[in-house]
A = this chain, B = another copy of it.
Amino acid sequence: MSAAATQLGAVLAAGGPALAAALGRTEERLAAVAAGHGPELAEHAAAMLTAGGKRLRPVLVFLTAADDSDDRLVSAAVAVELLHMATLVHDDVLDRAPLRRGRPTVFATGGREAATATGDLLFSRAFAELAETGSEEAVSRLSASSSALARGELMQRADAWLADVSAERYLERCRLKTASLFDACCRLGAHFGGAPAQAAELGAFGEDIGLAFQLLDDVLDVSGPAERTGKPRGTDLLDGTVTLPLILARAEDEELRSLDLRSIDDPARAEEVCDRIAATGALDEARGQALEHVAAAKARLDGLELTQDRALRLVADGVVERYA
């Protein structure tokens, strides 16, 4: 069993039967979305919508609720997962990715037209599910997060091949393209879970673990090993995406500083550059920053006296441990 699966098991154990029941209802609702919008969506997205995965974003919605009895929490959980999946489907079109989680992508089975439309449909359904709660604040929150995800992608695209991007700008990108949705999940949990006064603090908790999540993803792209991450090392370098490990390593290594990113044109060369980045100690420094965000996230929980305090801390730790 993978570390990630063990970790999810620990979270489920700590969350108790209420969390398991809520996640079960989320799965049922996702299956209903997949089945309820025509044979084309069912064909293209059903496998993806019901394939499981960690359901990390729904878990955050449920665990940040003080009172888990409001059915609107399930609507919120379904909405954030649909939004996340919409972005994955579009990402797979852009990356021409044949597989995700070991299964063929919508792009692979349906082509780019079908995958683009499927992503658009999932976006729309996310807002439809959340609108059913009748909460303008919730819909506005999801819209803002959805805009942020797209803006983060646009920034990353604008920064492509710019080796001297600053750490501040890199972190802003991470905040937009990853952490904003974690933030929204936690705020939605607080909003529908009877603890609106804790929404800002829980949102900040979500943002911190979202940042840690993205930082570690970017470390893993350099460190591998490929057998664990499921993709070759250095894919970001080959895409022209500059992340924190390279930003930190350039400060230490003159040769990396003068490297033209466009000269990295094959996987073997990308691995060499990964090794050179690792040699500067940049990976440990980036991992250290991720751990600081996890620690900051957990510190925000102190004093909130949440029902699911222990399970939430396990989620925070899980972000770091997933490939440990």
Mark contacts of A136-178 with chain B using CB atoms, 8 A cut-off: 1 yes-contact digit, 0 otherwise. Answer: 1001101110110111011101100000000000000000000
Q: Chain A interface (Cβ within 8 Å of chain B)?
A: 37-41, 43-44, 86-87, 90, 93-94, 110-114, 116-121, 123-125, 127-128, 131-136, 139-140, 142-144, 146-147, 149-151, 153-155, 157-158
Contact of A143 among B128, B147, B155 (CB under 8 A): B128
Q: Which residue of B lies closest to A146 (CB)?
A: B124
> Contact at A121–B151, with CB atoms within 8 Å?
yes
A and B contact pairs by CB, cutoff 8 A, 27 listed: A38-B154, A39-B158, A40-B157, A40-B158, A86-B120, A90-B117, A94-B113, A111-B157, A113-B157, A114-B158, A116-B116, A117-B154, A119-B120, A120-B123, A121-B151, A123-B123, A123-B124, A124-B144, A124-B150, A125-B147, A127-B127, A127-B142, A127-B146, A128-B140, A133-B136, A134-B136, A136-B136
Rounded to whole angstroms, the CA-CA distance of A14 and B122 in the bound complex is 40
How many chain copies does the complex carry? 2
> Contact at A149–B120, with CB atoms within 8 Å?
yes
Known: A117-B151, A120-B153. 9 other contacts (CB 8 A): A40-B158, A41-B154, A117-B153, A123-B123, A123-B124, A125-B143, A127-B127, A131-B143, A136-B136
Tell me how far the C-beta of A76 lies from the nearest C-beta in chain B, rounded to whole angstroms.
14
| For the complex of A and B, 6 pairs with smallest distance between CB atoms | A128-B143, A121-B150, A124-B146, A40-B154, A131-B139, A117-B153
Rounded to whole angstroms, the CA-CA distance of A42 and B235 in the bound complex is 29
Q: Which residue of B lies closest to A239 (CB)?
A: B113
Q: Which residue of B lies closest to A38 (CB)?
A: B151
Q: Which residue of B lies closest to A143 (CB)?
A: B128
Chain B residues, CB < 8 A from A150: 117-118, 120-121, 124
Rounded to whole angstroms, the CA-CA distance of A120 and B121 in the bound complex is 11
Rounded to whole angstroms, the CA-CA distance of A8 and B89 in the bound complex is 39
Contact of A116 among B37, B39, B90, B140 (CB under 8 A): B90
Chain B residues, CB < 8 A from A111: 157
> Contact at B113–A153, with CB atoms within 8 Å?
yes
Rounded to whole angstroms, the CA-CA distance of A110 and B156 in the bound complex is 12
Rounded to whole angstroms, the CA-CA distance of A134 and B133 in the bound complex is 12
Which of A124, A140, A154 has the most chain B CB atoms inside 10 A of its CB? Answer: A154
> Contact at B118–A147, with CB atoms within 8 Å?
no
Q: Which residue of B lies closest to A152 (CB)?
A: B117
Chain B residues, CB < 8 A from A116: 90, 93-94, 116, 153
> Contact at B40–A155, with CB atoms within 8 Å?
yes
- Given A40-B158, A94-B112, residue A146 in contact with residue B123 (CB < 8 A): yes
